[in-house]
Structure 1
Amino acid sequence: MKNESTSASNADVNFLLGGGEMGARMRERDWSKTSLGPTQQWPQSLKTAVRIMLTCRQAMFVWWGEELINLYNDAYKAIIGGKHPEALGQPASDVWREIWDQVGPRAESAMLKNEGTYDEALLLIMERNGYPEETYYTFSYSPVPNDQGNTGGIICANTDDTQRIIGERQLALLRELAARTADARTFDQACTLSANCLESNPYDLPFAMIYLVDPDRQQVFLAGTCRIGQNHVAVPETVDLDSDSVWPFAEVIRTHQAKLISDLEVSFSSLPCGVWQRSPHQAIAVPIAPSGQTGKAGILIVGLNPFRLFDDNYKRFIDLVAAQIAASIANAQAYEEERKRAQALAEIDRAKTVFFSNVSHEFRTPLTLMLGPLEETLANCATLLPAKEQEQLKMVQRNGLRLLKLVNSLLDFSRIEAGRVQASYEPTDLATFTAELASVFRSAVERAGMELSVNCPSLPAPVYVDREMWEKIVLNLLSNAFKFTMAGKIAVSLQWANDRIEFAVQDTGIGIPAEEIPHLFERFHRVKGAQGRTFEGSGIGLSLVQELVQMHGG
């Protein structure tokens, strides 16, 4: 009889075999002291549900009977936290008192209506480790029939989504912060855009302030706020670094380390809550690192989520936010410095242009007065002067004309920059006009033993150009080609290309090194070591051509 009794007793607990720690605890517990009664009296439906739960590796629980007595497996221990192991065998409404207003109605739906429920990433503020904690769970309540066919209890599988939800929202903020602050052009813009971005995460950042350091005045000044008014008592406009303040500005600047501020409710009666119904009781002051020796340093003050511990993960997130704000400030500083450099260079360029304009005007009048009589002397006294003196006068005339050409080019530049050049566009037979201009060089090219090819077929319609400007474009390009071509051929071509014309001058000259091509149209730039027919030149011919072409929409 004893063996039969022992065998029956073992059979009663066979469904609890295995199951790790929770299986052992359930075997050891005196269930007769609960509303479930001793295990040998448990209905088969409950035994089956418990067996499924214990052998499952996913977090699961079974609530059974009118009191919904709580039974759970090893995987569920991480969810129940500090309530383990006391929660075993207790009514579910006692175990989860703090969230029963949310889960209670779902349990009633399963028990009273025999209808299952499903929730995905539901926010639950649990108190399982001695403090209220933000959690997210996906779970379903499935009614389990008892042996009589009525609903005897609930079986539930749980998935913890907390880290996923928190990680996704933090990553979204960091992405937005990087994207929206990329175009900041000033310190003020960088801080304002950064503060605006922080608005998108009221969960982890209930409120925030950005302060920048003024090293000359030894104080910090407010540069941006998030979800807290600038007139709030917690938001001073400026703070001297040697003054007392709730916010540890001086310590953070001196140590370059973050500082946690606790018990905020002692200093401030009300602070912004973000999405929560409770004000933050902690804040963190984080240094915003400067970029280089002249960079702008700052401090980010952030109110912390009252339903999360400030652990390493939370701290890393705040550090990344501060680093991204620092990067946006550094980018704004770099842009401002580059703008100032560009402005200074433009000012130098304008001064240089004004100088050349003034000098050109000063040169042009005496040159004109000198070249006029010189031309008359050569024309009227050609037979009276010895050949040597005639050649010297012609050399003076050639160099005077060359200097006048340079002066005129400089004047053209100064007029273009000052916006005083008004193009006079008129319909032109551009093929004929271009061929005529190119023919001016034919005798010089052929005397040098080279060939000049002009391919300017008739165009289907007149082209609107400023004839004077077009002449300068053609002659400058041909002059440049002739200067640097010692043998071979110079080819001029003009082609109709739908809504535009293409003009090209090609030669068999010395060519241009690849590294010089980016500087080809820079004013006063000359290719070093380039061998030409002559060495004179200002380096502005091609630059002038570019300006004139652009005025024609090219």
Structure 2
Amino acid sequence: MVAGCVGRVLFSSTRLSIWPGGWREPGGRLVSTSGLDFLRAGEEMGERMRALDWSATPLGPVDTWPQSLRAALSICLGSRFPIALYWGSHLTLLYNRAWSSILGAKHPWALGRDAREVWPEIWDTIGPLFQQVMTRGESTYSEDQLLAMHRHGYTEECYFNYTFTPVHGEDGSVQGVFNAVIETTYRVIGERRTEVLRALGEALTAVPSAQQACDRAVEVLRGATADAPFAAVYLLEPDGQTALLAGSVGLPPGSPAATARVVLGSDEDRALWSFERPGASRATTVVDVTAQTFGQPPPGGPWPEAATSAFVTPLLGGGAGSVRLGFVVLGVSPRRAVDEAYRQFAERVAVYLTSALVTARAYEEEKKRAEALAEIDRAKTAFFSNVSHEFRTPLTLMLSPLDDLRRAADAGQPVDREQLALVQRNSQRLLKLVNTLLDFSRLEAGRAQAHYEPTDLGALTADLASTFRAAIERGGVRLEVDCPPLAEPVFVDHDMWEKIVLNLLSNAFKHTFDGVITVRLRDRGPDVVLEVSDTGIGIPEGELPNLFERFHRVHGARSRTHEGTGIGLALVHELTRLHRGHIDVT
């Protein structure tokens, strides 16, 4: 605080006395304020003041300045603390070198100019304070005061601790205003951003899914518009080429800034955020935005101005950040410049979100593994139940004829050939079941050995299909075989190909009660395609992804028989894979 009185100025920390012709330091040395000696201090600012034509300002020539102004200015120039003086009714501005940073680009233009001319953008705030000091002689103190200054070519969000203190002249009247200032912009904004990050970290603790992590992050950013006027989170699809919008705030739905799907590196996509292809730069980039590209004036958060740029930061997970999970877009405040601190804030937001995504995806994967293991366990239980039934049925059908044959032999009666045939059929049924289980076991263990040889695949397939014709036609279904000769022999393992064809035909016949079953073989470029189609009951859409899984059976499906282990189509899938092919169902 500065307390003014005639002839001297008192500071709380240091006592400085003003005497005619100068002022005395506490040690007693007299500092002259006569002539231009009082402008010798201040290095750059003293030199500028000496060079300025003060006669063109309301203060007039230097030699007409009152002793109170000379003494106050001498103190100002000699201090390393940011100090300014506003003098006279025009509040003409004088300041030291430390205070010049407050002006930004207005320095040195502002020297010797009226306060209203220097600060028109904040006059509504500081004008009444000047009035209070000049008219009533009352000091003011403002702490972390928001002042929207225009000092670097744009309206800037700034915060200051400052005093306006009266400086009295020789007659005791208030002649000027002593202004001591500390800029607190970086501390205030830094604390605010730290609080956003704290809230983000708290919100993203123990998030069970990636989508919930994005939802919570967006909700936190909804309350942080001073630093992120708008935001969007995109997550990459497994292909690594497509990003899907997972959440946004402050963006009009469906606009180029909130496109639901973005193809990385695509020049044709209408999305504003042209995310780079995999392998490109992993650093935060700044993207310019305009009303034309945005679809409307970009939100400016709490400020009336529209944002003009945004941060785009990749979400990097995996070892050493080697895997891109997506991107986070943060609008840049129109009242803050992009500097290192602002860029680090955007990157910290991305780090917090990435950590939550990695944890959530690990949780999701673990959950899926647990569910898969539980499903396998259920399938195994059903499998062993089915296998037990499959073994028991033919064994039961064999035991009774064998008992009859044993009694007949004991009695010397002739052998019943029909009962022998029944025993043989059920023995073959058991053998087929055991062979299927062994085949699948060998495939899963990687011990299956394929013996490929050039084959007339059309003739082999037609021959295999014809073995089913009698059974299919007895069931009231037509069998159509369309397997013309191919352009050249195909290398297949005959035994494995037989299992593929017969399993597919068996499955089709099992669920077809009328109409037709068609077996078709075609050349398609370098590939050969086998199609087995039918007019049966069809397969529910929800069952299609699991159709070729081991032990899987479609529950409740209408069937000619409920026999089966649930590994027939899984066996076909594995045998096809051994032939470097793939199988699907439509």
Q: TM (normalized to structure 2)?
A: 0.55
Q: Among 277, 301, 319, which residue is 1:274 paired with?
A: 301
For 1:456-495, list aligned pairs within 5 A. none
Q: Tell me by how many angstroms 1:85 deviates.
A: 1.4
Alpha-carbon separation, structure 2, partners of 1:218 and 1:84: 50
Alpha-carbon separation, structure 1, partners of 2:240 and 2:184: 49
For each residue in 1:71-107, what CA deviation from the matched residue of structure 2 results, as whole angstroms up to 9, or x when unmatched? 0001011111221112111111111122222211211
The answer for the alignment partner of 2:69 in structure 1 is: 46
Q: 2:112 aligned with 1:72, yes or no?
A: no
Alpha-carbon separation, structure 2, partners of 1:27 and 1:97: 27
Tell me, what secondary structure is at the counterpart of 1:270?
Answer: coil
Which range moved further: 82-91 or 27-36?
A: 27-36
The answer for the alignment partner of 1:308 in structure 2 is: 336
Tell me, what secondary structure is at the counterpart of 1:22?
Answer: helix
Q: 2:363 aligned with 1:335, yes or no?
A: yes
Alpha-carbon separation, structure 1, partners of 2:36 and 2:168: 21
The answer for the alignment partner of 2:215 in structure 1 is: 192
The answer for the alignment partner of 1:287 in structure 2 is: 314
For 1:360-371, list aligned pairs within 5 A. none
Gaps of 5+ in 1: 1-8, 359-554
Note closer, same or farther for the CA distance 1:344–1:195 as it changes in structure 2 (3 Å cut).
Answer: same
Alpha-carbon separation, structure 2, partners of 1:108 and 1:270: 38
- Check whether the contact 2:86–2:177 (CA below 8 A) recurs between aligned residues: yes
The answer for the alignment partner of 1:325 in structure 2 is: 353
Tell me, what secondary structure is at the counterpart of 1:325?
Answer: helix
For each residue in 1:47-69, what CA deviation from the matched residue of structure 2 results, as whole angstroms up to 9, or x when unmatched? 22212211222111000011111
Q: Among 136, 140, 161, which residue is 1:138 paired with?
A: 161
- Check whether the contact 2:241–2:277 (CA below 8 A) recurs between aligned residues: no
Give the 4+ runs in structure 1 shifted more than 6 A: 293-296, 348-358
- Give, as a single letter, the amino acid of the residue that structure 2 aligns with 1:63: Y
Q: Among 48, 57, 73, which residue is 1:25 paired with?
A: 48
Q: Among 160, 174, 181, which residue is 1:151 paired with?
A: 174
- Check whether the contact 2:33–2:67 (CA below 8 A) recurs between aligned residues: no
The answer for the alignment partner of 2:285 in structure 1 is: 259
Which range moved further: 251-260 or 203-212?
A: 251-260
Note closer, same or farther for the CA distance 1:261–1:349 as it changes in structure 2 (3 Å cut).
Answer: same
- Check whether the contact 1:264–1:283 (CA below 8 A) recurs between aligned residues: no
Task: Give the alignment's Cα RMSD to 1 decimal.
Answer: 3.0
Alpha-carbon separation, structure 2, partners of 1:175 and 1:222: 24
Note closer, same or farther for the CA distance 1:232–1:119 as it changes in structure 2 (3 Å cut).
Answer: farther
For 1:107-186, list aligned pairs within 5 A. 107-186=130-209
- Check whether the contact 1:252–1:258 (CA below 8 A) recurs between aligned residues: no
Q: Tell me by how many angstroms 1:28 deviates.
A: 3.0
- Check whether the contact 1:110–1:143 (CA below 8 A) recurs between aligned residues: yes
Q: Tell me by how many angstroms 1:127 deviates.
A: 1.8
Q: Tell me by how many angstroms 1:223 deviates.
A: 0.6
For each residue in 1:386-430, what CA deviation from the matched residue of structure 2 results, as whole angstroms up to 9, or x when unmatched? xxxxxxxxxxxxxxxxxxxxxxxxxxxxxxxxxxxxxxxxxxxxx
- Give, as a single letter, the amino acid of the residue that structure 2 aligns with 1:171: T
Tell me, what secondary structure is at the counterpart of 2:47?
Answer: helix
- Check whether the contact 2:262–2:271 (CA below 8 A) recurs between aligned residues: no
Note closer, same or farther for the CA distance 1:237–1:356 as it changes in structure 2 (3 Å cut).
Answer: closer
- Length, aligned pairs only: 352
Note closer, same or farther for the CA distance 1:10–1:134 as it changes in structure 2 (3 Å cut).
Answer: closer
Q: Tell me by how many angstroms 1:257 deviates.
A: 3.9
- Give, as a single letter, the amino acid of the residue that structure 2 aligns with 1:245: R
For 1:336-415, list aligned pairs within 5 A. 336-345=364-373
Higher helix fraction (1 or 2) = 1
Q: Among 321, 325, 336, which residue is 1:297 paired with?
A: 325
Note closer, same or farther for the CA distance 1:233–1:10 as it changes in structure 2 (3 Å cut).
Answer: closer
- Check whether the contact 1:207–1:272 (CA below 8 A) recurs between aligned residues: yes
Q: Tell me by how many angstroms 1:189 deviates.
A: 0.6
Which range moved further: 60-69 or 285-294?
A: 285-294
Which range moved further: 191-200 or 242-251?
A: 242-251
Q: Among 234, 237, 245, which residue is 2:270 paired with?
A: 245
Alpha-carbon separation, structure 2, partners of 1:144 and 1:353: 94
Q: Tell me by how many angstroms 1:130 deviates.
A: 2.3
Q: Tell me by how many angstroms 1:134 deviates.
A: 1.8
- Check whether the contact 1:185–1:332 (CA below 8 A) recurs between aligned residues: yes
Q: Tell me by how many angstroms 1:239 deviates.
A: 3.1
- Give, as a single letter, the amino acid of the residue that structure 1 aligns with 2:355: A
Q: Tell me by how many angstroms 1:210 deviates.
A: 0.6
Tell me, what secondary structure is at the counterpart of 2:341?
Answer: helix
Tell me, what secondary structure is at the counterpart of 1:341?
Answer: helix
- Check whether the contact 1:252–1:285 (CA below 8 A) recurs between aligned residues: no
Q: Tell me by how many angstroms 1:346 deviates.
A: 5.2
- Give, as a single letter, the amino acid of the residue that structure 1 aligns with 2:360: A
- Check whether the contact 1:249–1:299 (CA below 8 A) recurs between aligned residues: no
Tell me, what secondary structure is at the counterpart of 2:60?
Answer: coil
Tell me, what secondary structure is at the counterpart of 2:34?
Answer: helix
Alpha-carbon separation, structure 2, partners of 1:171 and 1:12: 52
Alpha-carbon separation, structure 2, partners of 1:70 and 1:332: 59
For each residue in 1:173-232, what CA deviation from the matched residue of structure 2 results, as whole angstroms up to 9, or x when unmatched? 122212210121101111001111212321110000111122449432211112335355
- Check whether the contact 2:258–2:271 (CA below 8 A) recurs between aligned residues: no
Alpha-carbon separation, structure 2, partners of 1:205 and 1:104: 31
Alpha-carbon separation, structure 1, partners of 2:324 and 2:186: 34
